[in-house]
Structure 1
Amino acid sequence: MKKLINNIGLSCLGLCLNSCVDFIDNAPDDTLTLEMVFDDKVRMEDWLSGVYNKIPDPYWGMLRDYGYDSMGDDLDPSQRWYQWWGNTLNFVIGQWFTNSTWDAGLWNGCPQRIRSAYLFIENAHPIPGQHVTEQDVETMKNECRFLIAYYYWMMLEAYGGIPFFDGLADVESPNLMRGQKSFDEMVTWIDNQLVELSKVLPETWLNKSAQYYGRATSIMCLAVRARMLLFAASPLVNGNEWYKGFKNYDGQERFNSTYDLKKWEKAATACKELIDAAHAAGHDLNRDYNDDGSLDPFMSCYNVFFKRGDVNKEALFVRPDSNFGEFEKHCVPRGASGNGGVGIYQTLVDAFSMQNGKLPITGYNGNYGTPIINQESGYTEKGFSAEKDIRKTKYNLYRGCPGATVDSIGSDGAVYNQVAASGTYNMYVNREPRFYLTVMWNRQWYHQASRETQFMSNEMDGGPTHDAPQAGYLNRKRVSLETNQRDGQHPYRPGILYRLGEAYLNYAEALNESDPSNPDILKYLNLIRERAGVPQYSGNGISDGKDSNGFDRIPLNGQDEVREAIYHERRVELCCENGLRYFDLRRWKKAEEVLDQPMYGMNFSGTKLSDDENDASSFYKRTQYIVRKYERKFYWYPIYQDEIDKDPTLVQAPFWNNQ
């Protein structure tokens, strides 16, 4: 009897690596068979493309559908979008239950792709007459194996415990109800798969045509593995007493509550193996230079996300097609034809260092509305700047601004540009380069509209409408300087899911926990800071004095100080990317501390360009605008209650039983 393709298989088809034809239109559902698919090169490749289509979109998908970028304290979607974004925005304010919908669709979507991948492995074969060789098929099957491991990790990272099948399951078998595996058991299986596949998949597809860009590589295997093992070594799942005695249906504890230093050692080794393999394959941090040969930290950090293909050496795992246009549209001011409500939190504004490398804010008195200002940093929240902030860079925010210093040539022959105008609120001047790549503030020049932004109440970019930044800031990171929403102009770029800069920080963190005197910790941490144009650290065998950019080094003493420095660097280097901040807060067990409290920004209702704290109309003053809620149970996504009702072997995530 011929094998008819069932709905599970069909639902996996459609989205391809760059583009594909939905061949389902060419035959009725009840006549297209597996034999017909896998005897035809185009159909077989389209099936493989369908297996890929659950890879997250790192732009709109991570923000809107998965919601990971909305769940941390970096990207801040307007709560006034509730009628369109109810699911994600409910999670932010703690309105989250076992019957809450989640547009990521991991619980159902990943198993569908996993089953589709196993069907491919079982049925794909060479087609000599259509130039499909045995090696081609073997490689495609290995791609499917990678995607199976990756999708299992995506589910495990979200739910903590998941059902597992290591082959094509019989959908009629009662054995489908088998409960969940323990966290460590799943990590071990995924780890073994990724190690094995890293030895057989190609390290790059760039020597082939563009249609291969984004397909699984050995580097992608090692990147997923390194991030997974870092998570598995972290406090949430390594010695966490919260989950002691919490068991799956088979009586096995879901999480190991005994701390194991070897997990950090294994994570450090995996991160170093990734770095070494990436370097050997030609990967490196993106760096751009001024005309005099000096590093341009602005363009170096900006272009991480906009260079493509073999030019972008930092990208390790990309999704070629992403909805960056919709993402950018929601970061563009309303008065420039955008839906300008994707802002950033005040805590992220506070996190960027000053130009001298010192932190402006060292903590808060009780809540985020009362910062502890580091007087030695030169930072102030009072008054407005008397001078323009000019930097040696080709990064041009102020093109077309009357009176701005733009693309001027200094006596050294290098290009200088203005990053903040005179009269700018002092909070936003003399900050490190990454600050200006991330923060769009009130009265900053917006060259696509040839005017300053106007975020005050009843102004063209401000409230009370929903398309306005509720904290007084819009996001700039990963938004192209060439974007013009009025013309529908959104320059292409690949969606980067893993990059080498993160790998350096992952390695530094794992090494600091497992071998705190190792000089590699500051070596790789300083490579990130060097590229970002901020002073580097001394300690762990690195002497005081000047760093490679001519700054005075900042001393670090002991494992605890180094840990905090790594945490801070991740905060600013990886902000607004793929939910990494939210994952960090979870795995560090800091989500309740950081997210369960009122959030502050500038005064959304302000109508005066004033910093007078006693004037209700002042815009430039810290003002509470939302109360976030985060409970211990939120660390893991709950399984839908109707799924548990159908399968008594499923055990709900910790602390959710009464919901």
Structure 2
Amino acid sequence: MKNIYIRTIFLFLGLLLSSSCSDYLDKESDTELTLDGVFESKTKTENWLAGCYSRIPDPTWGYTRSLGWEIFGDDMTPSERWRQYDWQVIPFILGDWSVGSQWSPGYWNSLPQRIRECNLLIKNIKPLPTQNLNEDEVRLMIAECRFLKAYYYSLLLNTYGPIPFSPDEITPVNYNLSDLQVGQTPYDEIVTWIDKELREVEQILPTSYSDGRKFGRATSIMCKAVRARMLLFAASPLVNGNPDYAGHATKDGKVLFNPSYDANKWRIAAEASKDLILSAEAAGHKLYTEMNSAGKIDPFLSCQNLHLVESSKGNAEVLFARVNVESGEYDRHTAPGGAGGAGGYGVTQSLVDAFFTANGLPITDSNSGYIEGGYSVNDGYWTNGVTKFNEVKSPGLVTMAGTYNMYCNREPRFYLAVNFNNAWYTDGDNAGKDKGRKLEFFNGAKDNNNTHDAPQNGYLARKRTDPTRNPTIGYFAPRHGILYRLGEAYLNYAEALNETDPGNPEILIYLNRIRERAGIRPYTLGATDAQNIHVDSDQESLRKVIRMERRVELCTEGIRYHDLRRWKLAETVLNGPFYGMNFNGKTAAEFYKRTAYQTRVYRKSFYWFPIYLAEIEKNPNLIQAPFWDK
């Protein structure tokens, strides 16, 4: 076999290779190895495989700071002035986005590189009996690479839409440029390939590993999770018969998006989600819950700790996790300035408004008990069950006397997702000595120093943050990052089932499992009473409650933006003013006013990332993503 030279150091750094073709196979005379040499060593083979895994996204800091999925959506909002620190997607949400804009994750170049590395392993790996690398292990490593290829293609497809697609190709060192100048493959053809590949690979991979050191490596459950999410997107209005993309075709006339709506895609998506659920539950996965002293679900600790407790410590809800994540940076930027944090990463007013009240109704319902103005007279406690939430101050305390009424009488997930002015903030240190105080977001107060490191719209994000963090001394507890969890699978199934079989009783069964864990009344087709909330059985009514539940349950997890895209709602929801409390307010009368702090722009072209102009210029067969060239 022709020698291909690779820097040894790349094997140990996850093969962080250059994005340009000419630099892809780098050489350094004093450290070079042949490709044969790599796969003659078990250690080097394992390091190569680790490099193949290296582009799995970080769902803590990556979804926010790097990829930007939560900034793109309407859940989270960073300090706009952080753009000076190269927060690249902040200009994007303001409409300053072009075919030449830089985006550091660079999926277009980086993911094909990892796919190529997977192909090289698949082609060259072999058993090494003297080094305890046997045929079964080789078979699993090949299956892992097949999973990673399918997963990376699903990320490319979700980001760019139709892409150049050669899943098994290994570009030779002496390539001809014309060999690389291929056009895009239709969206549905790529979906079909990914679907088939994942279904085949899930038959090879185990449901889990007994060796804890293999946590995070590909499993059959991960295959099913990636497949189910992809098929839900593929059934949705953006790509299922979208008339906006009629005529979007390659230069030789091949249509890239199917112009005809196919209802069967929803059935396929529903079946994939149900298959995931049944297989995951059979393998021991279940919603994460913690019980209170009365033997019932504690919604506060359950919903908080499902994002903090790792699988090895009893969190069976996790289906797909990344082990090495930058959770400390997420914790730092969501921590208030008065506690040593960067203090500028908040949530939007629309997310605040999306949470239900304590009786499970939306704030727009006249029976919800919601009051927006004025202030509470007494401390507010969660009275629907015993909880240790805010145990340092007083167990079950959710609001203190003098809290703006907008934040009172809300459901548990609200208090776990939103840090608002006058909320009780628990400060922790690495000795475990907890302390706490009220948050002070008025301008010039302890947590608003009127700089970029302050909540620009009067809120900070709380969900997925560690209550023991202490930025002052640099203590941040490490944790895994969750890419897929069972709660999402329940909601995916409910949505897809409603689109293909409205009125199916399983819709409410799975929707209500989420609400039960959250501590609020479930839905029923019967009459509303103290235990249940009536909902009509027609498709549109159920679609509305499913989407409301997704917004709340999955908020700040990197999912909302893609929901808005696939429902074709992004150009409506993400256009116009975004609101919060008044950052400049120094008194209650000034601060507690719905104030537009930002005006966002979302054009029809923004549904897909553009192909960089430089790539279009290099490859005349590429077609720019829809509407970017208009």
Q: 1:531 to 1:101 in 2, by over 3 A?
A: same
Alignment of 1:205-604 (within 5 A): 205=209, 207-208=210-211, 210-310=212-312, 311-361=314-364, 374-391=365-382, 392-397=385-390, 399=392, 401=393, 406-407=394-395, 417-448=396-427, 450-539=436-525, 543-544=526-527, 551-577=531-557, 579-604=558-583
Give how far 1:5 is off. 2.8
Q: Deviations over 1:561-610 (max 9, x none)?
A: 10000000000000000x20000000000001101010110000000022
Give how far 1:528 is off. 0.6
Give how far 1:557 is off. 3.6
Gaps of 5+ in 2: 16-24, 428-434
Does the CA contact (< 8 Å) of 2:14 and 2:48 recur in 1? no
In the alignment, what sits opposite 2:3?
3
In the alignment, what sits opposite 1:137?
138
In the alignment, what sits opposite 1:651?
623
Q: Deviations over 1:177-224 (max 9, x none)?
A: 11110000000000000010111111101x11x220000000000000
> Partner letter of residue 384 of structure 1?
Y
Give the Cα separation in 1 of the matches to 2:521 and 2:336: 33
Does the CA contact (< 8 Å) of 1:64 and 1:85 recur in 2? no
Q: 1:87 to 1:25 in 2, by over 3 A?
A: closer
Q: 1:4 to 1:273 in 2, by over 3 A?
A: same
Does the CA contact (< 8 Å) of 2:269 and 2:496 recur in 1? yes
Give how far 1:375 is off. 3.3
> Partner letter of residue 648 of structure 1?
P
Give how far 1:11 is off. 5.7
Q: 1:89 to 1:113 in 2, by over 3 A?
A: same
Q: 1:552 to 1:259 in 2, by over 3 A?
A: same
Give how far 1:162 is off. 0.7
Give how far 1:33 is off. 1.1
The TM-score with structure 2 as length reference comes to 0.94
Give the Cα separation in 2 of the matches to 1:494 and 1:251: 46
Give how far 1:13 is off. 5.6
Give the Cα separation in 1 of the matches to 2:243 and 2:39: 50
Q: Which of these residues, 180, 201, 207, is aligned with residue 203 of structure 1?
A: 207
SS at match of 1:377: coil
In the alignment, what sits opposite 2:608?
636
SS at match of 1:215: coil
Give the Cα separation in 2 of the matches to 1:10 and 1:229: 38
In the alignment, what sits opposite 1:154?
155
Give how far 1:10 is off. 7.4
Give the Cα separation in 2 of the matches to 1:396 and 1:488: 24
Larger mean Cα displacement after TM superposition, 160-169 or 644-653 = 160-169
Give the Cα separation in 1 of the matches to 2:463 and 2:208: 27
> Partner letter of residue 498 of structure 2?
N
SS at match of 2:488: helix
Q: Which of these residues, 567, 582, 596, is aligned with residue 624 of structure 1?
A: 596
Does the CA contact (< 8 Å) of 1:389 and 1:419 recur in 2? yes
In the alignment, what sits opposite 1:50?
51
Give how far 1:302 is off. 1.0
The TM-score with structure 1 as length reference comes to 0.89
Give the Cα separation in 2 of the matches to 1:37 and 1:646: 33
Give the Cα separation in 1 of the matches to 2:535 and 2:30: 66
Q: Deviations over 1:495-522 (max 9, x none)?
A: 1000000000000000000011211111
Give the Cα separation in 2 of the matches to 1:80 and 1:482: 28
Give how far 1:12 is off. 7.4
Q: 1:33 to 1:507 in 2, by over 3 A?
A: same
> Partner letter of residue 632 of structure 1?
K
SS at match of 1:450: strand
Give the Cα separation in 1 of the matches to 2:284 and 2:354: 32
Is 1:14 aligned to 2:13, yes or no? yes
In the alignment, what sits opposite 1:91?
92
Is 1:185 aligned to 2:165, yes or no? no
Give the Cα separation in 1 of the matches to 2:278 and 2:586: 54
In the alignment, what sits opposite 1:366?
none
Give the Cα separation in 2 of the matches to 1:143 and 1:518: 36
> Partner letter of residue 476 of structure 2?
H
Q: Deviations over 1:612-657 (max 9, x none)?
A: xxxxxx1011011100000000000000000010000111000011
Q: 1:605 to 1:561 in 2, by over 3 A?
A: same
> Partner letter of residue 14 of structure 1?
L
Give how far 1:551 is off. 2.0
SS at match of 2:130: helix
In the alignment, what sits opposite 1:413?
none
SS at match of 2:376: coil
Structure 1 segments of 4+ aligned residues over 4 angstroms from their partners: 9-13, 24-30
> Partner letter of residue 247 of structure 1?
A
Larger mean Cα displacement after TM superposition, 222-231 or 163-172 = 163-172
Give the Cα separation in 1 of the matches to 2:388 and 2:243: 48
> Partner letter of residue 533 of structure 1?
G
Give how far 1:445 is off. 2.0
SS at match of 1:624: strand
Does the CA contact (< 8 Å) of 2:74 and 2:561 recur in 1? yes
Give how far 1:487 is off. 2.4
Q: 1:323 to 1:395 in 2, by over 3 A?
A: farther
Larger mean Cα displacement after TM superposition, 129-138 or 166-175 = 166-175
In the alignment, what sits opposite 1:411?
none
Q: 1:500 to 1:386 in 2, by over 3 A?
A: same
Give how far 1:250 is off. 3.1
Q: 1:211 to 1:634 in 2, by over 3 A?
A: same
> Partner letter of residue 327 of structure 1?
Y
Gaps of 5+ in 1: 17-23, 362-373, 408-416, 611-617
Give how far 1:450 is off. 3.2
Give how far 1:28 is off. 5.2
Does the CA contact (< 8 Å) of 1:537 and 1:556 recur in 2? no
Give the Cα separation in 1 of the matches to 2:342 and 2:473: 14
Give how far 1:489 is off. 2.0
> Partner letter of residue 237 of structure 2?
P
Give the Cα separation in 1 of the matches to 2:203 and 2:537: 40
SS at match of 2:351: helix
> Partner letter of residue 225 of structure 1?
R
**Equivalent residues, number:** 608
Give the Cα separation in 1 of the matches to 2:390 and 2:294: 21
Does the CA contact (< 8 Å) of 1:2 and 1:33 recur in 2? no
Does the CA contact (< 8 Å) of 2:38 and 2:45 recur in 1? yes
Give how far 1:85 is off. 3.3
Q: 1:155 to 1:520 in 2, by over 3 A?
A: same
Give the Cα separation in 1 of the matches to 2:545 and 2:100: 40
SS at match of 2:5: coil
Does the CA contact (< 8 Å) of 2:457 and 2:579 recur in 1? yes
Q: Deviations over 1:264-290 (max 9, x none)?
A: 000000000000100110001111111
Give how far 1:168 is off. 3.0
